[in-house]
Protein backbone atom coordinates (compact mmCIF):
# COMPACT_ATOMS: atom_id res chain seq x y z
CA UNK A 1 0.00 0.00 0.00
CA UNK A 2 1.32 3.43 -0.88
CA UNK A 3 0.80 6.90 0.52
CA UNK A 4 0.84 10.30 -1.16
CA UNK A 5 3.05 11.36 -2.85
CA UNK A 6 4.05 8.41 -5.00
CA UNK A 7 7.27 8.39 -6.99
CA UNK A 8 8.03 6.66 -10.27
CA UNK A 9 11.61 5.52 -10.86
CA UNK A 10 13.40 7.43 -13.60
CA UNK A 11 15.86 6.18 -16.20
CA UNK A 12 19.29 7.45 -15.20
CA UNK A 13 21.10 6.85 -18.50
CA UNK A 14 23.71 9.57 -19.09
CA UNK A 15 25.92 7.88 -21.67
CA UNK A 16 27.10 9.10 -25.05
CA UNK A 17 24.69 7.08 -27.23
CA UNK A 18 22.15 9.62 -28.59
CA UNK A 19 19.46 6.99 -29.25
CA UNK A 20 19.68 5.62 -25.71
CA UNK A 21 19.70 9.16 -24.32
CA UNK A 22 16.57 10.05 -26.33
CA UNK A 23 14.85 6.86 -25.16
CA UNK A 24 15.70 7.67 -21.54
CA UNK A 25 14.37 11.22 -21.93
CA UNK A 26 11.08 9.95 -23.36
CA UNK A 27 10.78 7.37 -20.61
CA UNK A 28 11.40 10.07 -17.99
CA UNK A 29 8.74 12.32 -19.55
CA UNK A 30 6.27 9.42 -19.41
CA UNK A 31 7.29 8.70 -15.80
CA UNK A 32 6.58 12.35 -14.89
CA UNK A 33 3.13 12.17 -16.49
CA UNK A 34 2.37 8.89 -14.74
CA UNK A 35 3.57 10.23 -11.39
CA UNK A 36 1.51 13.44 -11.72
CA UNK A 37 -1.61 11.49 -12.71
CA UNK A 38 -1.29 8.99 -9.85
CA UNK A 39 -0.71 11.77 -7.31
CA UNK A 40 -3.67 13.78 -8.64
CA UNK A 41 -5.94 10.74 -8.32
CA UNK A 42 -4.72 10.03 -4.80
CA UNK A 43 -5.21 13.66 -3.74
CA UNK A 44 -8.81 13.55 -4.99
CA UNK A 45 -9.46 10.23 -3.25
CA UNK A 46 -12.39 10.29 -0.82
CA UNK A 47 -12.32 6.67 0.37
CA UNK A 48 -9.76 5.70 2.99
CA UNK A 49 -8.22 2.96 0.87
CA UNK A 50 -8.55 2.62 -2.89
CA UNK A 51 -7.03 0.41 -5.56
CA UNK A 52 -5.94 1.94 -8.86
CA UNK A 53 -5.56 -0.25 -11.93
CA UNK A 54 -3.02 0.41 -14.66
CA UNK A 55 -5.86 0.58 -17.20
CA UNK A 56 -7.54 3.37 -15.21
CA UNK A 57 -4.30 5.33 -14.93
CA UNK A 58 -3.58 4.75 -18.62
CA UNK A 59 -6.94 6.31 -19.55
CA UNK A 60 -6.46 9.24 -17.16
CA UNK A 61 -2.89 9.98 -18.27
CA UNK A 62 -3.22 9.33 -21.99
CA UNK A 63 -0.19 7.02 -21.84
CA UNK A 64 -0.08 3.59 -23.44
CA UNK A 65 -1.19 0.78 -21.09
CA UNK A 66 2.07 -1.17 -21.47
CA UNK A 67 4.10 1.96 -20.68
CA UNK A 68 2.02 2.64 -17.55
CA UNK A 69 2.34 -0.99 -16.44
CA UNK A 70 6.12 -1.05 -16.98
CA UNK A 71 6.86 2.28 -15.31
CA UNK A 72 4.15 1.97 -12.66
CA UNK A 73 5.61 -1.27 -11.33
CA UNK A 74 8.12 0.88 -9.43
CA UNK A 75 5.30 2.48 -7.41
CA UNK A 76 4.35 -0.62 -5.44
CA UNK A 77 5.39 -3.69 -7.40
CA UNK A 78 1.83 -4.59 -8.37
CA UNK A 79 1.20 -6.35 -11.65
CA UNK A 80 -2.27 -4.81 -12.15
CA UNK A 81 -1.94 -1.55 -10.25
CA UNK A 82 -1.48 -0.32 -6.69
CA UNK A 83 -3.49 0.41 -3.55
CA UNK A 84 -3.23 3.80 -1.88
CA UNK A 85 -4.37 5.38 1.35
CA UNK A 86 -6.05 8.78 1.33
CA UNK A 87 -3.74 11.66 2.31
CA UNK A 88 -4.20 12.55 5.97
CA UNK A 89 -5.84 9.24 6.84
CA UNK A 90 -5.79 8.73 10.61
CA UNK A 91 -4.97 5.42 12.20
CA UNK A 92 -8.59 5.03 13.33
CA UNK A 93 -9.89 5.72 9.81
CA UNK A 94 -7.35 3.26 8.43
CA UNK A 95 -8.54 0.51 10.80
CA UNK A 96 -12.17 1.16 9.83
CA UNK A 97 -11.30 1.08 6.12
CA UNK A 98 -9.39 -2.18 6.51
CA UNK A 99 -12.44 -3.73 8.18
CA UNK A 100 -14.66 -2.52 5.35
CA UNK A 101 -16.65 -0.22 7.63
CA UNK A 102 -16.00 2.89 5.60
Residue by residue, DSSP assigns the chain as -B-SSP--PPP---SS-HHHHHHHHHHHHHHHHHHHHHHHHHHT--SSEEEEEHHHHHHHHT--HHHHHHHHHHHH--SSEEEEEPTT--HHHHHHHHTT--
**CA-derived radius of gyration, the chain:** 16
Q: How far apart are CA 54 and CA 102, in angstroms?
A: 24
| Among 40, 77, 44, CA closest to 57 | 40
**pLDDT computed for residue 89 by the predictor:** 86
**pLDDT computed for residue 85 by the predictor:** 92
pTM: 0.89
Distances in Å between the alpha carbon of 45 and those of 32, 37, 41, 64, 78?
20, 12, 6, 23, 19
**pLDDT computed for residue 77 by the predictor:** 87
Q: Which residues of the chain have pLDDT under 50?
A: none
Amino acid sequence: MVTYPVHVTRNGYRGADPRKRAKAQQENRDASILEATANRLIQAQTRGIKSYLWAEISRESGLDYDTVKRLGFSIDGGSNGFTATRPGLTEEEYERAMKGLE
